[in-house]
Amino acid sequence: MSDKAIETLLAEDRRYPAPEDFAAQANAKSDIYDIPFEEFWEREGRERVTWFEPFTSLLEWELPYAKWYLGGKINVSYNCLDRHVEAGLGERVAYLWEGEPEGERSSLTYAELLAQVVRMANVLKELGVGKGTRVAIYLGMVTELPIAMLACTRLGAPNTVVFGGFSADSLADRSNDMGCEVLITQDEAWRRGSTVPLKLTADEAMAAAPGIRACLVVERTGNEVPMQAGRDHWLHNFEVPDDPATCPPEPMDAEDLLFLMYTSGTTAKPKGIAHTTGGYLVGAATTHRYVFDLKPETDVYWCAADIGWITGHSYIVYGPLCNGATSVMYEGTPDFPDKDRWWEIVERYGVTILYTAPTAIRAHMKWGPEFAEQHDLSSLRLLGSVGEPINPEAWVWYREHIGGDRLPVVDTWWQTETGMILITPLPGVTTLKPGSATRPFPGVDAAVVDDQGEEVGPGGGGYLVLRRPWPAMTRGIFGDDERYRTTYWERFPGMYFAGDGARIDEDGDFWLLGRVDDVMNVSGHRISTIEVESALVDHTSVAEAAVCGRADQLTGQAIVAFVTLKGGQEGSVEMLEELRDHVAMKIGPIAKPANIVFTPELPKTRSGKIMRRLLRDVAEDRPLGDTTTLADPAVVAEIADRAVAQPAED
């Protein structure tokens, strides 16, 4: 982010104190910040979840690994389902599901969800899944996705959900890295009126992931897909012998692995971010309760993310279900069949809490407020944002046009690694500032430090760090202790380095400024520059590639690639499309570069290092910085000439 943009942000002086009526009924009052750290997490550990055996010690902290709620025995699916049913809440709706094709709707009560989880768990057992068996899940936004996750947790089988937009290669890499033995997928998914061939992609992935010995397939579109005898099984007609109506939840140790979520880092290989059972569940449920002020008896909560990302894990599945919430789950895109689809959903179900990403807000902003105006949104009482820095304009638009100029907007900062929201307003307490995530959540110790790791005072800028563990923090990168230590803990000894730039204002409020490493944030999705570069050089015509992000009004950042073709070939429109498709094939459509600039040479220092700073300047159309260290200074000028913007891809 440029200095000018930062100054503009800090000059933002609109203030929105918590409305009095909201504050009066809020789950979190201002004294929540006064509770000592250990007392807070001890209390939440007892109140938010039910233990089969209580924990005997709160925290063991051997940097960089924390253990929480030691000695506790717990099962996530029991906490998300059985205990609510046992408490007489079986008839409460857990999910109000809305399919993308119009008119396809269903609802699942907690009792029904439990029954389906039990059934799938018993099917998985038949397929040999037990405690410790690793399962990959490759599903769209169908109810079988949370059902599959909960069925795994019921059996004590760690899972990894791979976003349905990822390629066969990405799915295979993740399955292989985790050592998955079973894959759960669906025939096809719906997206913007067309079908996405998940099973076909899964077949391709399985060809490269020989460890997967069984594949369970959910029927969604009903179109024919190949099924390999002996390996592939339909869920709907799977016969479990003597079909038991129960499946006892496996008592898990608080520190047993719950799931891996793969995310991009600064190398081509995605990291399997590990989350364990007890601390993760307590962290997700606690933040969900206080940040969203959840009243499970009356609220209709909607997190419009995809469960394939961490947001959906913590705030569509584990947090809300643990809290006994009623959630909306929507299968499709916001503009299908028209741009008022979200608002129709809010009106139909009487949604009270909406949680989404700045990219989506900016898309709605671009389409215009008339789509929201067609619907009665008066049921809403709280709005949330996550995934990327939210510009004050989008924040204020969200509040005015969706929130009737009266609702609190909570801008929540967190990461795949943090597992739970860490910096956020509390809606009944905090005075809101558009563009600021405001304060660390109770019990969280966040700071902004300079290059030397010294804390900067109010008004200062630098790097965001965390100085104390929190229950849902990652327990490391699966199988790669070294990478975990160097990525997060080496830069500032004793502190977790998040990879984000931040500033602190005079009141001590945090303003997040985006990534400071080689990770781009496109529509709230993390993609590493090196991952895209490797996908490009994998193409037979590409000699060299360098990738960087540029600011984009809609998606936050967009991907720009600078490509040198082999044998002095010149770029062409056909080659451009071919390379975009190649990246989509290697990683997934979300990683397609918006622009590709073909250039006979990349700017390099005399020692052969690609000068990324200069490429970023070109991509951002900024005046070029110092070029004197370049081996051939003329190269950049030529690239800048060639960097004629190409139409951005969806």
Site for ligand PRX, rule CB under 6 A: 263, 310-311, 386-389, 411-416, 437, 498-500, 512, 514-515, 521, 526
Q: Do 470 and 476 contact (CB within 8 A), yes or no?
A: no
Provide the β-strand partners of residue 514: 501
Q: How far is the CB of 385 from ligand PRX (least distance, A)?
A: 6
Q: For residue 386, give every residue at least 6 positions away whose Cβ sits within 8 Å of its Cβ, in sequence order, or none.
A: 305, 311, 355, 356, 357, 411, 412, 413, 414, 421, 524
Q: Do 187 and 223 contact (CB within 8 A), yes or no?
A: yes
Between 116 and 391, CB nearer to ligand PRX: 391
b/e per residue 465-499 (b: at least 16 CB within 10 A): bbebbbbbbbbbbbebeebbeebbbebbeebbbbb
Provide the β-strand partners of residue 115: none
Q: How far is the CB of 6 from ligand PRX (least distance, A)?
A: 13
Q: How far is the CB of 423 from ligand PRX (least distance, A)?
A: 7
Between 122 and 412, CB nearer to ligand PRX: 412
Q: Where are the alpha helices (DSSP H) in 375-480?
A: 392-397
Residue 443 DSSP SS3: coil
Between 64 and 265, CB nearer to ligand PRX: 265
Q: How far is the CB of 266 from ligand PRX (least distance, A)?
A: 12
The DSSP secondary-structure symbol of 266 reads S
Q: How far is CA 594 from the centre of its chain?
A: 21
Q: How far is the CB of 387 from ligand PRX (least distance, A)?
A: 5
Q: How far is the CB of 122 from ligand PRX (least distance, A)?
A: 33
- Count the Cβ atoms, other than its own, within 10 Å of residue 348: 14
Q: How far is the CB of 412 from ligand PRX (least distance, A)?
A: 5
Between 416 and 430, CB nearer to ligand PRX: 416
Between 389 and 427, CB nearer to ligand PRX: 389
Between 143 and 359, CB nearer to ligand PRX: 359
Between 384 and 443, CB nearer to ligand PRX: 384
Q: Do 495 and 453 contact (CB within 8 A), yes or no?
A: yes
What is d(CA 430, CA 428) in angstroms, rounded to the nearest whole number? 6
Residue 21 DSSP SS3: helix
Q: For residue 47, give every residue at least 6 positions away whose Cβ sits within 8 Å of its Cβ, in sequence order, or none.
A: none
Q: How far is the CB of 133 from ligand PRX (least distance, A)?
A: 26
- Asked, as a colleague might, if the bond just before 337 is cis with ω within 30 of 0, I would say yes
Q: Do 537 and 544 contact (CB within 8 A), yes or no?
A: yes
Amino acid at 99: G
Q: For residue 332, give every residue at least 6 positions away whose Cβ sits within 8 Å of its Cβ, in sequence order, or none.
A: 99, 100, 141, 190, 191, 192, 341
Q: How far is the CB of 463 from ligand PRX (least distance, A)?
A: 11
Residue 306 DSSP SS3: coil
Between 326 and 521, CB nearer to ligand PRX: 521
Between 169 and 306, CB nearer to ligand PRX: 306
Q: How far is the CB of 629 from ligand PRX (least distance, A)?
A: 29
Q: How far is CA 227 from CA 185, 465, 557, in A?
A: 12, 49, 40
Between 146 and 499, CB nearer to ligand PRX: 499
